[in-house]
């Protein structure tokens, strides 16, 4: 996808559509003391701590839910890896620049 306003942080488009930025994330997270998760919309750079907290809290969930969250996390990282100019080889962290240099 060709993002028209990718990484224009000073004037964030607050969207991950074609006129937005690939680092704009929308995900479910539960605030402290809240009973239900709510949809969070924020820059991926700011959202990463919250998102990782949700992944860690998955350890209290049934195995099927953990596997589902793990798969979703891997998909999100792979989808955004191109936007950050890296390629994750099978999820094991081999980093390759887009120009082909390692």
Q: What is the pLDDT of residues 74-98, one digit of tens each?
A: 887 777 766 555 444 444 444 444 4
Asked if residue 37 lies in contact with residue 53, where contact means CB atoms within 8 angstroms, the answer is no
**Residue 1: pLDDT band by 50, 70, 90 thresholds?**
low
Share above pLDDT 90 across residues of the chain, in percent, rounded to a whole number = 1
Residue 35 has pLDDT above 60, yes or no: yes
C-alpha to C-alpha distance for 52 and 70, rounded to whole angstroms: 11
Give domain limits for the chain: 9-97
């Amino acid at each position: 996808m060709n993002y028209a306003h990718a990484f224009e942080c000073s004037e964030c488009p607050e969207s991950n559509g074609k006129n937005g930025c690939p680092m704009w994330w929308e995900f479910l997270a539960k605030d402290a003391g809240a009973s239900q998760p709510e949809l969070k919309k924020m820059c991926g750079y700011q959202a990463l701590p919250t998102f990782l907290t949700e992944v860690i809290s998955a350890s209290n969930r049934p195995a099927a839910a953990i596997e589902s969250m793990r798969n979703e996390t891997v998909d999100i990282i792979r989808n955004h890896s191109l936007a950050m100019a890296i390629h994750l080889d099978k999820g094991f962290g081999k980093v390759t620049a887009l120009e082909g240099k390692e």
